[in-house]
């Protein structure tokens, strides 16, 4: 997750003198991993805004080349050579005057090329160090600045970007809202929640919606905006933040949905209302159905896939990618905004099945706050109207309710006993409220209702972890437990050690090989079909399809190690291995019990585990 510091500062009152390194340390204190602090691109010299005055297309060349006259605030127009064609007369661009040094020590100077003097350069996003896009130069929206204005502040060249690795249980941190909340708790600063808004009551529907699979889709929100100007550009401040977050601006309607997804953590999708055929229906796919997704691929659907459909059939692979048939285009003026809440396991399976690890799927498979839909849809609608005109429908379609989380009860001293930190009940309650729980002390117990955006908090020890995280992992005492008096090695351990030492004394080298084998290994050993060593245990989820079995002999691993060494010229060697083989029981053994983690196994449960273990030779 890439997030500009300026975006975090919209929701956390950061001190003016705080450094990026201090921000990184604060994230680490609350259990987040900071991968890198991306300093602003290093640019020196006169980087200014310019307006295109004239374009001369040079002919007789193998590729498009233009000689462009620019108004960059100087007394005379400035002429530059440019190979990009994505701009027109009157557009605002970023001009690097001679003497500017761009990221990568790219020095700009006046030079003669194609029979013209190129007195500077018009810059692309990649040349400015703002992203990887290099299909054309950066065209600024109209009215953001006048020719000759300093382009540095406009481009955000003073804004550090924090890159964080978000763990699977912290899906809410795939948003500026979630990260700002964590940062505020780490620094003990006020937090302004962008999702804390009052929405007017909505009785009616913006577009007819029906959910036929309430397990796959828990809630579906649709809001409509009519009369949007399809040619309206996205505001530059939004484009800049999308670029800093690693996304490419694609147009107002798409940019707004991406921006709100990054801001709130709620993925959204926009449909062209003129291309929708009747009510929106959410259901599972039928055998043999197909969908052309936005990337142009024709996909054969699985009955496990959740679909968004209309009268024409599938129009979107829910939470993964939209369909091409209702795609927003440069002619779309009537938009239906979708903000739904999808079943995480179903989304994860669909994304992997179709090899589509989208930004939306990444968030939904980790869990999204089910209360965000109406807020996010309204936020998108407001931004569309602000920058593209149009009118928001007075009502919104809201199908499904967000169910409140169940209360979790724990002993008041459990956080202290587990963490080793001296945490009293009042401190634990305050920590739980910090992470959004409704918490209170009830005698010797703490009662907490997890917030809707923390789907990962499901049992008492999740609460203990959150308390320890907020109080500070650095406060966990470093005390080693006293080692009990030992009795030395057992007879079996002593025998195994003596065997190993004796073999090593004769010049053999001990190896450790993987315990996984395949049918090819049995064939390589030329084992008879009735050989007992062919009777092996199969893994339910093998690391390799070619090695799905647990070894019944050490020979395959030894022979593979021998082959690797001889293949590298090591011919004078002897190898041995002492390891475990896995022999299926000849008699029926009881199935091992599934034990919880909330208490130590009882003596009876330990006996059941031991009885389920297959016999192992020495």
- Are residues 383 and 415 both part of a single domain? no
The domain that contains 535 carries what CATH number? 3.30.930.10
Decide: 262 and 175 in contact? Cβ < 8 Å. yes
Q: Are residues 22 and 53 in the same domain?
A: no
Q: Are residue 28 and residue 107 in the same domain, yes or no?
A: no
Evaluate whether 53 touches 70 at the Cβ level (below 8 Å). yes
For residue 228, give the CATH number of its domain.
Answer: 3.50.40.10
Tell me if 581 is assigned to some domain.
no
Q: Are residues 267 and 296 located together in one domain of the fold?
A: yes
CB-based contacts of 313: which residues, under 8 Å, 6+ apart?
A: 289, 291
Tokens of 578: 């002492």
- CATH code, domain carrying 414: 3.30.56.10
Q: Evaluate the CA torsion angle 87, 89, 90, 93 in order and state its sign.
A: positive
Q: Are residues 254 and 379 in the same domain?
A: yes
Whether 332 maps to a domain, the answer reads yes
Q: What percent of the chain has pLDDT over 70?
A: 99
Opening angle at CA 545, ends 543 and 551, nearest 5: 70
**Which residue among 132, 155, 178 closes a domain?**
155
Same domain assignment for residues 227 and 179: no
- Among residues of the chain, what percentage have pLDDT more than 90? 70
- Rounded Cα distance between 486 and 374, Å, is 63
From residue 386, how far is each of 193, 232, 259, 391 by CA, in Å?
21, 10, 14, 10
If one counts every other C-beta atom within 10 angstroms of the C-beta of residue 605, the result is 15
Residue 585 resides in a domain: no
Classify residue 605: in a domain, yes or no. no
Q: Which two tokens stand for residue 25?
A: 């340390």
Do 274 and 237 lie in a common domain? Answer: yes
Residues 383 and 359 reside in one and the same domain: yes
Residue at 66 is within a domain: yes
| pTM for the full predicted model | 0.76
Q: Between vectors from CA 152 to CA 112 and to CA 184, what angle results, nearest 5°?
A: 150
Residue 581 contacts residue 551 (beta carbons within 8 Å)? yes
- Whether 600 maps to a domain, the answer reads no
**Which residues is 44 bridged to in the sheet?**
101
In 3-state terms, what secondary structure has residue 555? helix
Write out the residue range of the structural domain in which residue 378 sits.
209-399
491 phi/psi in degrees, rounded to 5: -60, -40
Same domain, 384 and 463: no
pLDDT, residue 558, reads: 95
Looking at residues 421-445, what average pLDDT do you find? 93
Same-domain pairing of 164 and 16: yes
| pLDDT value for 205 | 87
The predicted-structure confidence for 496-520, as pLDDT tens digits, reads as follows 999 999 999 999 999 999 999 999 9
> For position 114, which CATH number holds?
2.40.50.140
Query: What's the rounded Cα separation, in Å, for the pair 372 and 175?
Result: 12
Is the pLDDT score of 618 beyond 70? no
Find the mean pLDDT for residues 65-73: 94
Q: Is residue 342 pLDDT above 90, yes or no?
A: yes
8 Å CB contact between 94 and 100: no
Q: Among 344, 379, 399, give the residue marking a domain's end.
A: 399
How many Cα atoms sit within 13 Å of 566 on the Cβ side? 11
Query: Per-residue pLDDT averaged across 238-256, rounded?
Result: 91
Task: Compute the distance between CA of residue 265 and CA of residue 144 in angstroms, rounded to an integer.
Answer: 28
Could you tell me if residue 99 is inside a domain?
Answer: yes
Handedness of CA 144, 149, 153, 156 (dihedral sign): positive
Contact status, residue 385 vs residue 392, Cβ threshold 8 Å: yes
pLDDT of 372 > 70? The answer is: yes
Q: What is the pLDDT of residue 615?
A: 65
Q: Is residue 195 part of a domain?
A: no
Output the pLDDT for position 233.
87
Residue 220, helix vs strand vs coil: strand
> Sign of torsion, CA 173 294 226 342?
negative
Among 399, 422, 452, the domain boundary falls at: 399
Q: Is the pLDDT of residue 556 over 80?
A: yes
HEC sequence for 345-401? HHHHHHHHHCCCCCHHHHHHCCCCCCCHHHHHHHHHHHHHHHHHCCEECCCCEEECC
Q: How, if at all, do strands 92-96 and 47-58 pair?
A: antiparallel
433 & 379 share domain: no
Which helix (DSSP H) or strand (DSSP E) does residue 307 occupy?
strand 306-310
| Model confidence band, residue 617 (pLDDT cutoffs 50, 70, 90) | low
Buried b (16+ CB within 10 A) or exposed e, 374-400: bbbbbbbbebbbebbebebbebbbbbb
176 and 277 share one domain:
no
Query: Residue 67: is its pLDDT beyond 70?
Result: yes
Domain count, the chain: 5
């Amino acid at each position: 997750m890439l997030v500009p510091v300026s975006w975090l500062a919209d929701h956390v009152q950061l001190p003016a003198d705080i450094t990026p390194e201090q921000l990184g340390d604060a994230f680490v204190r609350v259990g987040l991993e900071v991968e890198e602090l991306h300093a602003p691109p290093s640019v020196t010299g006169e980087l200014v805004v310019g307006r295109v005055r004239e374009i001369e297309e040079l002919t007789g060349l193998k590729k498009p080349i233009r000689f462009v006259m620019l108004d960059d605030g100087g007394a005379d127009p400035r002429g530059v050579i440019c190979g990009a064609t994505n701009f027109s007369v009157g557009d605002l661009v970023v001009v690097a005057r001679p003497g500017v040094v761009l990221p990568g020590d790219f020095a700009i100077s006046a030079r003669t090329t194609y029979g013209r003097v190129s007195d500077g350069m018009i810059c692309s996003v990649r040349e400015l160090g703002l992203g990887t896009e290099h299909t054309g130069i950066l065209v600024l929206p109209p009215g953001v600045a006048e020719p000759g204005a300093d382009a540095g502040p406009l481009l955000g060249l003073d804004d550090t970007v924090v890159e964080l690795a978000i763990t699977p249980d912290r899906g809410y941190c795939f948003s500026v809202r979630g990260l700002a909340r964590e940062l505020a708790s780490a620094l003990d600063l006020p937090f302004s929640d962008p999702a804390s808004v009052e929405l007017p009551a909505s009785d009616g529907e913006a577009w007819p919606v029906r959910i036929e699979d309430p397990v796959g889709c828990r809630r579906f929100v649709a809001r409509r905006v009519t009369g949007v100007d399809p040619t309206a550009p996205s505001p530059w401040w939004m484009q800049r933040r999308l670029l800093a977050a690693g996304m490419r601006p694609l147009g107002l309607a798409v940019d707004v949905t991406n921006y709100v997804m990054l801001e709130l953590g709620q993925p959204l999708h926009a449909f062209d209302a003129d291309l929708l055929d009747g009510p929106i229906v959410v259901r599972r796919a039928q055998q043999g159905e197909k969908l052309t997704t936005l990337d142009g691929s024709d996909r054969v659907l699985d009955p496990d896939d959740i679909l968004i459909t209309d009268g024409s059939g599938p129009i979107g692979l829910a939470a993964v990618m939209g369909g091409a048939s209702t795609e927003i285009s440069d002619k779309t003026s009537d938009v239906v905004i979708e903000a739904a809440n999808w079943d995480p396991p179903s989304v994860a399976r669909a994304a992997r099945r179709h090899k589509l690890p989208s930004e939306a799927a990444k968030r939904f498979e980790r869990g999204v706050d089910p209360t965000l839909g109406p807020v996010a849809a309204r936020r998108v609608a407001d931004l569309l109207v602000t920058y593209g005109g149009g009118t928001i429908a007075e009502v919104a379609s809201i199908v499904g309710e967000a169910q409140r989380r169940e209360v979790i009860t724990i002993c008041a001293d459990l956080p202290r006993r587990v963490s080793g930190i001296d945490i009293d009940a009042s401190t634990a309650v305050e920590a739980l409220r910090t992470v959004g729980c409704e918490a209170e002390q009830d005698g010797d117990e703490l009662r907490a209702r997890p917030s809707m955006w923390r789907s990962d908090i499901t049992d008492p020890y999740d609460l203990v972890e959150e308390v320890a995280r907020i109080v500070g992992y650095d406060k966990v005492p470093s005390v080693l437990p006293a080692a009990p008096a030992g009795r030395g090695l057992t007879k079996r351990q002593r025998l195994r050690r003596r065997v190993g030492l004796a073999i090593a004394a004769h010049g053999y080298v001990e190896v450790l090989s993987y315990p996984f084998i395949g049918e090819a290994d049995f064939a390589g050993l030329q084992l008879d079909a009735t050989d007992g060593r062919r009777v092996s245990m199969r893994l339910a989820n093998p690391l390799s399809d070619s090695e799905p079995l647990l070894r019944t002999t050490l020979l395959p691993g030894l022979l593979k190690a021998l082959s690797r060494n001889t293949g590298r010229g090591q011919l004078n060697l002897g190898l041995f291995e002492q390891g475990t083989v896995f022999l299926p029981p000849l008699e029926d053994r009881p199935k091992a019990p599934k034990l919880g983690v909330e208490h130590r196994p009882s003596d009876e449960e330990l006996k059941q585990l031991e009885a389920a273990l297959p016999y192992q030779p020495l």
